[in-house]
Every structure is written in structure tokens, then in C-alpha cells.
Structure 1
Amino acid sequence: MYLNVEPEAQAKLQQYLDADKDLLLDFDDGVGPLSNVGTCTLASVFRIVAVAKGAEQKDYNKALESNIGTFRYKGYSEMYMDNQMRLIVNPTNKMLSLRGSNSGELTGMVTVEDLSATA
């Protein structure tokens, strides 16, 4: 699998591309201490989470290569991903959007959270 982060999306992520941070492509489904959901859900919402470099995040056991570096993710969330994905800026609302080559839009509004000071 591969994630192409388009230039406009790279600009939005620039402040998180730091040698002291790792990026997670989180499928926020209620699993793990970083979840905003709190309980299991059927919602398919991806978000990007910045954590301290090397932070132990046992749920994020797989690596996804991209043109801006490696994202860690929960291995079982592959079923919701495509082999080729793009992170773009939606021209209408200026939000990040995750799109798959086969599935189309995977998450229309990808949020970005910096938990590097806490996680």
C-alpha cells in the first residue's frame, strides 16, 4: 500500500513533519488509548495523529509508506483502505480528504491532531 500526499496536503501537514514526531493514520474505531470515539463504532473515520518519535503504540503495528515518510496504522484497518490512496485538500471546504484508487472517498474530513506531548 502507498499513500500519495499531494502538495497542498503536504503544506497542511508541514508543522507535523518533524524529526521528533511519528505520524499515525488512525482508523478511529474506539480501539486504543488515542481514540476519540471511546467505544466501538461502525463509523469509518480516518484521522492523522502526530505522536512523539518512537512512542509505544502497540495498536499501530503496520507501516504505510508515503511520499512524505512512513505512517503507522492499525493492521486490521487495511480492510478499509485501498492499495493506492491519496491525501488531498478538498477545493470546496479546504479540508483534508483521504481517497482510495478503487473506493473513492474514504474519509471526507480528515482531522489532524498533535498528541506528541502526551502520547
Structure 2
Amino acid sequence: MYLTFSDTALQRISPFVTTDTRIALDLDDGVGPFSNSATCTFDVAFNLVLCQASDLSDDFNMTIDSDLGPVYIKDYTTEQLDSALNLDVDHYLRYKLSGPSGILDPNVTLRNLQPVG
């Protein structure tokens, strides 16, 4: 499994990525520290979280490769993902996660939880 960031997504995200940054692709299902609660819909919603290693819970027990290095995921979320993933920015400046099967989430939220300064 590999996550490719479009050039536009790389330009927008890479300034926030340091050697201490951990990247998580979080399925917003109510599990883990980045999910407030699961929604009662059939929608699939992902957050791309920039955080520190100490912010990651044991729920993020798998990594996938990407243009920006390892991306932490919850292992069971592979059922919601394609083997080849793309994160792009649409014309409304929203992050869009897609793969060979189509658009997986048209509105991925970027959450930068890293300390300032």
C-alpha cells in the first residue's frame, strides 16, 4: 500500500513536516485519540493528522509508505483503502483521497497537532 501526495498537496503539507512529525491517516470511526466520536452514517471520513510520536495511540499499529515517509493507520482500516492511494487538492482547496476504485473521501481534514514554535 502506498500513498502518493499530488504536487499541490506536497506544497501545502510538507512545510509542516519535520523529522519529529508523525503522519496518521485516521479513519474517523470513534477509535483513537483523533476521533471524537463515530458518526451514525455510512460515510467514510478520514483525517490526515500531523502530530508527535507521543500523540499516537496503540490503535495506530500499522504503517503504509508515502512520498512524505511512513503514514500510521489502524490496521483494520485497510478494508476501506485501496492499495494505491492518492491525496490531491481539488479546485475548492479541499483534500481528496482516492484510489483505483474511485474517490474514497472527497473532504479529508488536515489536522496539525504539533506544538507551535
Q: Give yes or no for TM over 0.5.
A: yes
Residue 98 (str. 1) matches residue 111 (str. 2): no
How far off its partner does 1:39 sit? 3.8
Equivalence for 2:108: 110
The count of aligned residue pairs is 114
Q: Which structure 2 residue ranges, 5 or more long, are not aligned? A: none
Instruction: State the alpha-carbon separation in 1 of the partners of residues 111 and 17 from structure 2.
Output: 13
Equivalence for 1:27: 27
Cα distance 1:56–1:68, how it changes in 2: closer, same or farther (>3 A)? closer
Residues 61 and 75 in structure 1, CA contact (< 8 A), matched pair in contact too? yes
How far off its partner does 1:55 sit? 4.1
Residues 33 and 55 in structure 2, CA contact (< 8 A), matched pair in contact too? no
TM-score of the superposed pair, with normalisation by structure 2: 0.88
Q: Which structure 1 residue ranges, 5 or more long, are not aligned? A: none
Residues 29 and 43 in structure 1, CA contact (< 8 A), matched pair in contact too? no
Q: Percent identity?
A: 30
Residues 95 and 109 in structure 2, CA contact (< 8 A), matched pair in contact too? yes
Residues 46 and 107 in structure 1, CA contact (< 8 A), matched pair in contact too? yes
Equivalence for 1:53: 53
TM-score of the superposed pair, with normalisation by structure 1: 0.87
Instruction: State the alpha-carbon separation in 2 of the partners of residues 75 and 82 from structure 1.
Output: 13
Deviant stretches of 4+, over 4 Å? none
